[in-house]
Chains A and B, each alone.
Chain A
Amino acid sequence: MVLNIENLTGGYSRTAVIHDISFNIKSGEIVGLIGLNGAGKSTTIKHILGLLNPHAGHIEVNGTRIGEDTEEYRRALAYIPESPILYEELTLNEHINMTAMAYGLDEATAWERADKLLKMFRLEEKGRMFPTHFSKGMKQKVMLICAFIVEPDLYIIDEPFLGLDPLGIESLIELMVSEREDGRSILMSTHILSTAERYCDRYVILDDGKLLISGTLDELRTGMNMPGASLDELYLSLTGGARSNESTHS
């Protein structure tokens, strides 16, 4: 198991935002983390990255908890945030160098991987430029390149398609599928359910900080008694249902 989350309760302060969440990701799986705005997706991701401390429960990456061996835990992860976070003082090439040094890649390996990715995302001519002057989509591509040169066991991608042009989306999907074939796993938070339905192996659906349901598309259909339903329909039914239950109880 690459990622194992058990009974995770947590948030930014003493007030919990997510409650008793459990799910896992196996090697070579793409898992979609799905939920409305404020459902708890980003909070869950921040807990996995170790940026927040759980109030209860625990998270293991490759069987290691962050407190046991922080470096080993983090080496297995690469993160692509929803909004690009870049160093204003570094060029694109220097971002790649920094990432390579952080993850212990030697220069030759890092640049062999980076050159392919730079070409794929059509940034091969921009290496000496400062990415902070790039467009939003180009900045996102820099984040993708820095994450994909690492080739970690688990990618955590927050809203991967946001700001990317159609060619960028196609390249990213191609990359994600190829990484899955190489046995690497991806946890992807997204609102674009049609794409998630096509490429994710399993889904974790959150609402109001709670896990509503998780499983493959077929398992969701069976569990919700909606044979043949699309992910969109299942999701609307689930979250709509959760809202109606809430209003009935209140």
Chain B
Amino acid sequence: MKAPIHKSRIEDDIRIRAYYSKYIFNSHFLIFLTIAGGVFLYSLLGMLSAMEPNIYLDIIAALLMSIVLLPKYRSLLKEADVLFLPPYEKYMKTYFSYMNRYSFWLSAYLPITGLIISLLLLRVGHPGWVMVLFVGMSVLLYIFAFLIRRDAVNTPMDRNSVILMLILIHFISLFSILVNPLFILLGLLLIGGLYFLVQKKQHKNLDWPKIIDHEASMKQKYYQYVSMFTNVRLSSKQYKRRKYFDALLKQPPPGRFNKNHMYEYLFRRTFLRDDDLPMIILRLLMIFSIVIIWVDAPVLSVIVLLFALYVIVLQMSQLYTAQAYLLWPKVWPVEREYIQESYIRFSHKVILMIALLLAVIFIFLHPVYFYIAAVFPLWGFALNSYFSKNVYKKERLLSD
């Protein structure tokens, strides 16, 4: 007998996650995580032991929790469902209750991690019972945030506005508890108010196209996240013209108008017009820069920046895979080695620029250790050479 639809879809999703987790949490990454996690905890505990209670720690703890208390709702519906499932809407209670449970626990790891870090911060200057209240409120906010985000899909409300309101309410609720525990009532009132507003705005029947679009966008976001660590074949690439980059996309001079440079011509455009890639790299650069400014420790900064380069090099390799499997390189009278050589040339240039930028930030923060910055371009070059070869190897295996 065929498995019920909810069972097969949840199993498929778990299978996909298990498949990609294998690549994300590879041995290199686990070693890095262990070292970075250890150094982070060590420096955080050291810093906290010397600190007096202050409002900034409370703000950081409340802010951290308000960002991580945003569980995603996954309906696991597919595009074709809009044709077949609406007539069975009233018989789909079981399906949706399974999806509720699955989605609820899917994002739980993030608030748990956030809560551990927040509690470490709150140990400075807060009694145990306030911390218990903070945990209790966080759990309550997570449950409400889940119900609100789930139900908001079936309303005309804009997704970003709902997220913004939730972050604001989370922050006010958690921070006010730390100021005065009696303010817990304010938090309950705010989150309850938003919940009732969303209930009031709900459509009578399910808005199937919107729920399906929401699921497609959640799926795409998951693949975007995974693509930061490994190649994702299911991710559909999108491109857009950024006029401010057009100056970098000039017609090649006559000496470079040939097969030796054609793929670099293509990679440059693929990179600068990719819908996500330049912005992901920019975001990564900003996040890692903020982290090293925050930790303000040379050794930890070096580890963080080496990891930043590792993630960025992995990001870059999707450029090569996006081109290597297309039809035209197999039809054009140009040897496949030209794609590989062009990719190496182009990615080395990009990685070198990023590594130099990171080196400048590092030198600015730790001028005494300026000579250590030389490691970034070298590490970027070594990583890029290693991973490019891996991409070719995979491509050769697939084409055999």
B234 close to A (CB within 8 Å) = no
- Structural contact, A97 and B237, CB atoms closer than 8 A: no
Produce 1/0 per residue, A67-88, CB < 8 A to B: 0001111110101010001011
Residues of A within 8 Å of B328, CB to CB, are 85, 87, 98, 102
Nearest chain B CB to A100 CB, angstrom units:
7
Nearest chain A CB to B242 CB, angstrom units:
11
Residues of A within 8 Å of B47, CB to CB, are none
A103 close to B (CB within 8 Å) = yes
- Structural contact, B265 and A98, CB atoms closer than 8 A: yes
In the assembled complex, the Cα of A101 lies from the Cα of B257 at a distance in Å of 6
A87-B266 contact given A51-B330, A102-B332, CB 8 Å threshold: yes
- Structural contact, A90 and B269, CB atoms closer than 8 A: yes
A104-B327 contact given A88-B239, A89-B269, A94-B269, CB 8 Å threshold: no
B254 close to A (CB within 8 Å) = yes
In the assembled complex, the Cα of A173 lies from the Cα of B334 at a distance in Å of 29
- Structural contact, B257 and A106, CB atoms closer than 8 A: yes
B385 close to A (CB within 8 Å) = no
In the assembled complex, the Cα of A87 lies from the Cα of B265 at a distance in Å of 13
Nearest chain B CB to A109 CB, angstrom units:
11
A49 close to B (CB within 8 Å) = yes
Residues of B within 8 Å of A70, CB to CB, are 333, 335
Residues of B within 8 Å of A77, CB to CB, are 331
Residues of B within 8 Å of A73, CB to CB, are 333
- Structural contact, A97 and B265, CB atoms closer than 8 A: yes
B259 close to A (CB within 8 Å) = yes
A101-B333 contact given A88-B239, A89-B274, A130-B241, CB 8 Å threshold: no
Residues of A within 8 Å of B265, CB to CB, are 94, 97-98, 101
Residues of B within 8 Å of A99, CB to CB, are 332
Nearest chain B CB to A48 CB, angstrom units:
11
Produce 1/0 per residue, A39-74, CB < 8 A to B: 000000000011100000000000000000011111
Nearest chain B CB to A83 CB, angstrom units:
10
- Structural contact, B269 and A107, CB atoms closer than 8 A: no
- Structural contact, B257 and A79, CB atoms closer than 8 A: no
A79-B331 contact given A98-B262, A104-B259, CB 8 Å threshold: yes
Nearest chain B CB to A117 CB, angstrom units:
18
Residues of B within 8 Å of A102, CB to CB, are 259, 262, 328, 332-334
Nearest chain B CB to A13 CB, angstrom units:
14
Nearest chain A CB to B334 CB, angstrom units:
5
Chain A residue at minimum C-beta to C-beta distance from B254 = A107
- Structural contact, A49 and B331, CB atoms closer than 8 A: yes
Chain B residue at minimum C-beta to C-beta distance from A49 = B331
Residues of A within 8 Å of B269, CB to CB, are 89-90, 94
B72 close to A (CB within 8 Å) = no
Which residues of B from 256 to 270 have beta carbons under 8 Å from A?
257-259, 261-262, 265-266, 269-270
Contact among B258, B262, B273 with A89 in the assembled complex (CB-CB below 8 Å): B273
B326 close to A (CB within 8 Å) = yes
Residues of A within 8 Å of B274, CB to CB, are 89
B49 close to A (CB within 8 Å) = no
- Structural contact, B332 and A103, CB atoms closer than 8 A: yes
Residues of B within 8 Å of A98, CB to CB, are 262, 265-266, 328
Contact among A71, A85, A90, A101 with B335 in the assembled complex (CB-CB below 8 Å): A71
Produce 1/0 per residue, B264-285, CB < 8 A to A: 0110011001100000000000
Nearest chain B CB to A124 CB, angstrom units:
17
Nearest chain B CB to A127 CB, angstrom units:
12
Produce 1/0 per residue, B37-50, CB < 8 A to A: 00000000000000
Which residues of B from 173 to 200 have beta carbons under 8 Å from A?
none
Q: Identify the interface centre among B254, B266, B333: most chain A CB within 10 Å of its CB.
A: B333
Residues of B within 8 Å of A104, CB to CB, are 258-259, 333
Nearest chain A CB to B209 CB, angstrom units:
23
Nearest chain B CB to A84 CB, angstrom units:
11
- Structural contact, B239 and A89, CB atoms closer than 8 A: yes
Nearest chain A CB to B386 CB, angstrom units:
27
Chain B residue at minimum C-beta to C-beta distance from A69 = B333
In the assembled complex, the Cα of A170 lies from the Cα of B131 at a distance in Å of 79
Nearest chain A CB to B222 CB, angstrom units:
22
Which residues of B from 207 to 264 have beta carbons under 8 Å from A?
237-239, 241, 251-252, 254, 257-259, 261-262
* 8 pairs of residues in contact across A and B, judged by CB atoms under 8 Å: A74-B333, A77-B331, A88-B237, A90-B269, A100-B257, A101-B258, A102-B328, A106-B254
- Contact surface of A with B, Cβ cutoff 8 Å: 49-51, 70-75, 77, 79, 81, 85, 87-90, 94, 97-104, 106-107, 130
- Contact surface of B with A, Cβ cutoff 8 Å: 237-239, 241, 251-252, 254, 257-259, 261-262, 265-266, 269-270, 273-274, 326-328, 330-335
Which 5 A-B pairs give the minimum distances between C-beta atoms?
A74-B333, A101-B262, A102-B332, A75-B333, A89-B239
